[in-house]
């Protein structure tokens, strides 16, 4: 199986030993504590599950700046984005060597992790601006990722962590949330050697389904891991339980047995386009995928990124040898009226736009909200029904 990034084995930071876990939970109640941001909580969950191997905790400002500048931390280790615990107020933990990090997304704000504090640093406006521009390629406060990153505070608390809970993800999505450890184990149990991963924050329509089939066939893969984001999205996006139900119905009806796994991970969307694509590839390698599909405007939002910037970054900016996972570079896929099947648009050079069945997201939402299924060339009827039921429930 493919090795994790920068390590011979996964290094999950979750405390699995029950006696140690119990002792740490008891200790945490007597430690100085602070409620962290949702983004920091997502980072802790990803480190807990082994997705961010070999990170041992939250970065210092120097390490974070290094990831933004060259995708390298101070020790030379590769990582594509800063993993910071940013706080507005550190009064409660100033001077403490060991603290409890509390979860902002669960009622009662329970302890999520314990940190051994290495430093508390104030991040300058110039440093924040530099990191924002490098990661998001814009400083526009209307960009949802920029707004979130800059709203967390200016104090960076760094140090190794021990994760004690997977936030709400394990409780709310018991059938879907999986750690990198669990996915690796299941890949091994299924006997898969070549595995392609597909990222989604939306329901999968026919074009997405066919793209996955194309990738599996062209890459000669044994299996597909559909890996959906379960964390916070921007307003208007379809909730995770609805996406989950729609995707599971599609896999049940249109994929061969033992050819696709439906899983999810606990993380808030960054909408960082190219940089987030590299992060996505990073943790897909850690979970055991050998290949990763990146299509048009991967992890983008609005018009902030070029259509294929999330593909070219692997050739232009990712350090040579940093990742072993291979990228399947896909174009937009759509139903060809001429050919009677879904194709990649670049592979149909004799087509005009009118030769494809293309619907905007707005149009699809209008149809579903009116109880009208999109055409069968766009969406499977069983998937459309689940989405129509959701939109009708909002009325």
Whether residue 286 lies in the annotated active site:
no
Q: Measured between alpha carbons, how far is 129 from 126 in angstroms, rounded to an integer?
A: 5
Residue with tokens 């990712």: 318
- CB neighbours of residue 257 within 10 Å: 6
286, two tokens:
């850690």
Which distant-in-sequence residues (6+ apart) come within 8 Å of 135 by Cβ?
68, 81, 82, 145, 149, 270, 272, 275
In the chain, where does DSSP find H-type helix? 18-28, 38-48, 61-70, 125-136, 144-150, 169-172, 180-190, 206-219, 240-254, 274-286, 309-316, 361-369, 381-393
Residue of 98, 154, 202, 365 marked catalytic: 202
Residue of 98, 201, 248, 365 marked catalytic: 201
Burial state string for 83-114 with b = 16 or more CB within 10 A and e = fewer than 16: bbbbbeebeebeebeebbbbbebeeeeebbbb
Which distant-in-sequence residues (6+ apart) come within 8 Å of 153 by Cβ?
37, 86, 87, 88, 89
Dihedral sign, Cα of residue 360, residue 366, residue 369, residue 370: negative
- In terms of phi and psi (left: phi > 0; alpha: psi -120 to 50; beta: otherwise), the region of 292 is beta
Q: Measured between alpha carbons, how far is 91 from 136 in angstroms, rounded to an integer?
A: 30
Residue 173 DSSP SS3: coil
Q: Measured between alpha carbons, how far is 226 from 229 in angstroms, rounded to an integer?
A: 10
Instruction: Enter the DSSP assignment of 78.
Output: B
Which distant-in-sequence residues (6+ apart) come within 8 Å of 183 by Cβ?
225, 227, 261, 263, 287, 288
Whether residue 201 lies in the annotated active site:
yes
Q: Measured between alpha carbons, how far is 64 from 49 in angstroms, rounded to an integer?
A: 21
Question: Catalytic positions, please?
Answer: 201-202
């Amino acid at each position: 199986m493919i090795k994790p990034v920068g390590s011979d084995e996964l290094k999950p930071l979750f405390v699995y030993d029950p006696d140690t876990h119990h002792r740490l939970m008891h200790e945490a109640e007597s430690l100085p504590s602070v409620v962290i941001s949702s983004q920091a909580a997502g980072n802790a969950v990803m480190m807990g599950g082994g997705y961010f191997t070999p990170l041992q905790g939250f970065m210092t400002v120097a390490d974070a700046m290094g990831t933004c500048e060259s995708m390298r931390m101070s020790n030379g280790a590769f990582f594509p984005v800063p993993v910071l615990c940013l706080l507005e107020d550190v009064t409660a933990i100033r001077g403490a060597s060991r603290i409890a990090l509390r979860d902002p997304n669960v009622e009662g704000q329970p302890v999520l992790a314990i940190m051994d504090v290495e430093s508390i640093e104030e991040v300058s406006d110039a440093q924040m601006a530099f990191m924002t521009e490098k990661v998001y390629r814009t400083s526009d406060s209307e960009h949802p990722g920029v707004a979130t990153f800059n709203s967390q505070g200016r104090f960076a608390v760094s140090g190794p962590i021990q994760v004690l809970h997977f936030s709400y993800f394990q409780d709310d999505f018991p059938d879907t949330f999986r750690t990198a450890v669990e996915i690796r184990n299941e890949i091994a149990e299924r006997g898969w050697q070549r595995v392609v991963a597909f990222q989604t924050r939306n329901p999968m329509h026919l074009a997405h389904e066919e793209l996955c089939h194309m990738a599996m066939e062209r890459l000669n893969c044994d299996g597909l891991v559909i890996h959906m984001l379960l964390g916070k999205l921007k307003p208007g996006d379809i909730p995770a339980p609805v996406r989950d139900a729609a995707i599971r119905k599609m896999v049940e009806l249109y994929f061969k047995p033992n050819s696709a796994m439906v899983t999810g991970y606990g993380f808030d969307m960054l909408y960082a386009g190219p940089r987030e694509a590299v992060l996505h590839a990073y943790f897909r390698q850690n979970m055991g995928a050998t290949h990763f599909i990146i299509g048009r405007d991967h992890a983008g939002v609005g018009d902030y990124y070029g259509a294929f910037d999330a593909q070219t970054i692997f050739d232009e900016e990712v350090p040579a040898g940093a990742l072993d996972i291979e990228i399947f570079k896909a174009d937009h896929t759509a139903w060809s009226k001429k050919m009677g099947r879904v194709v990649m648009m670049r592979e149909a050079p004799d087509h005009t736009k009118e030769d494809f069945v293309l619907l905007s997201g707005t149009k699809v939402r209008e149809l579903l909200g009116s109880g009208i299924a999109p055409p069968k060339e766009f969406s499977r009827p069983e998937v459309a029904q689940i989405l129509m039921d959701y939109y009708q429930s909002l009325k």
